[in-house]
Chain A
C-alpha cells in the first residue's frame, strides 16, 4: 500500500525559505525507476508541477521556478524534501508530494497535501 504525507511550517513570512518533507511508504526511492514529485495548488494558478527526483538522484525542475527550488531525498528514511527560497504571498498554496508512475510523467499516488500560507 503506497502512502505519502507532507509536512511543513504552515505559515511563514515573505522572503523566508520554505522547507517541506514528504514521508512515504509502500515503495522505495532506491528502486530502479522510482520518482517522487512535488506539485502545488493555489486558487490563483491552479495545479503547478514543481520538481521531480529520481531513484538515481536525477532532479528536474519547473523552469519558471528553477532558481528557487531544491529537491532532495533521504532514501534510508523514505523521505523527499523540497526547499523554496524567497517565498512570496503568491506562493501561498497547498503543496503535494506524489509518486510518479513508471513509464510516464503522471502521478499515481498523492499525499493529502499541506497548506502553506505566506503572510507578513
Chain B
C-alpha cells in the first residue's frame, strides 16, 4: 500500500495562510487529491490531481506538488475552514492520509 503521511493538527488565525502537507511513501505522479471533512459530515472534494480546484470550491483553496510531496494551501483562512483535511492518492489502489485537523485560534 502507498502510505500517506500528514501532520495531525494545525492551529492558525483567521486571515492567515496555512499549508497542509501530505507525503507519499512512493511516487504517485500528480494523482493526489484533497478532501475537507467537517464533524458529522461526509468528505467533500476540494482539489483533484494535485492542483485542480473542484467545482464550487472557493479560490482560497489551492494545491501543489508532484511525486511524493504535496501541499494544500488555504489563503486566507476563514472561520468556516475549521475541519479535518485528508489527502488521497490514486496512482495505486486508493489510500488516504490520516488527516490534518485544522483549528482556528
The answer, among B31, B44, B99, for a CB contact under 8 Å with A104, is B31
Residues of chain B with a CB closer than 8 A to A104's CB: 31, 33, 48-49, 90
Tell whether, in the assembled complex, residue A108 and residue B54 are in contact, meaning their CB atoms are under 8 Å apart.
yes
Contact bitstring B80-105, A, C-beta under 8 A = 1, else 0: 00000010101001111111000000
Name A103's closest neighbour in chain B (CB-CB).
B49
Q: How many residues of B contact A (CB 8 A)?
A: 21
Known: A47-B86, A104-B90, A105-B90. A110 touches B96 (CB 8 A): no
Tell whether, in the assembled complex, residue A62 and residue B96 are in contact, meaning their CB atoms are under 8 Å apart.
no
Tell whether, in the assembled complex, residue A101 and residue B48 are in contact, meaning their CB atoms are under 8 Å apart.
yes
- B45 contacts partner chain A, Cβ-Cβ < 8 Å: yes
- A37 to B94 Cα, complex, angstroms: 11
Name A62's closest neighbour in chain B (CB-CB).
B93
- B43 contacts partner chain A, Cβ-Cβ < 8 Å: yes
Residues of A45-92 contacting chain B, CB below 8 A: 46-49, 60, 62-64
Q: How many residues of A contact B (CB 8 A)?
A: 21
Tell whether, in the assembled complex, residue A46 and residue B45 are in contact, meaning their CB atoms are under 8 Å apart.
no
Known: A46-B98, A96-B42. A63 touches B90 (CB 8 A): no
Residues of chain A with a CB closer than 8 A to B97's CB: 46
- A8 contacts partner chain B, Cβ-Cβ < 8 Å: no
**How many whole Å from A19's CB to the nearest CB in chain B?**
21
Tell whether, in the assembled complex, residue A106 and residue B33 are in contact, meaning their CB atoms are under 8 Å apart.
yes
Residues of chain B with a CB closer than 8 A to A111's CB: 42
Residues of chain B with a CB closer than 8 A to A64's CB: 1
Known: A104-B31, A106-B48, A106-B88. A49 touches B42 (CB 8 A): no
Residues of B in contact with A (beta carbons under 8 Å apart) = 1, 31, 33, 41-45, 48-49, 54, 86, 88, 90, 93-99
Residues of A in contact with B (beta carbons under 8 Å apart) = 37, 46-49, 60, 62-64, 96, 101, 104-113
Q: Give 16 new A-B contacts, CB below 8 A, not counting A47-B43, A106-B45, A107-B45.
A: A46-B96, A46-B99, A47-B88, A47-B99, A48-B96, A49-B95, A60-B93, A62-B93, A104-B31, A105-B90, A106-B33, A106-B49, A106-B94, A108-B48, A109-B45, A110-B44
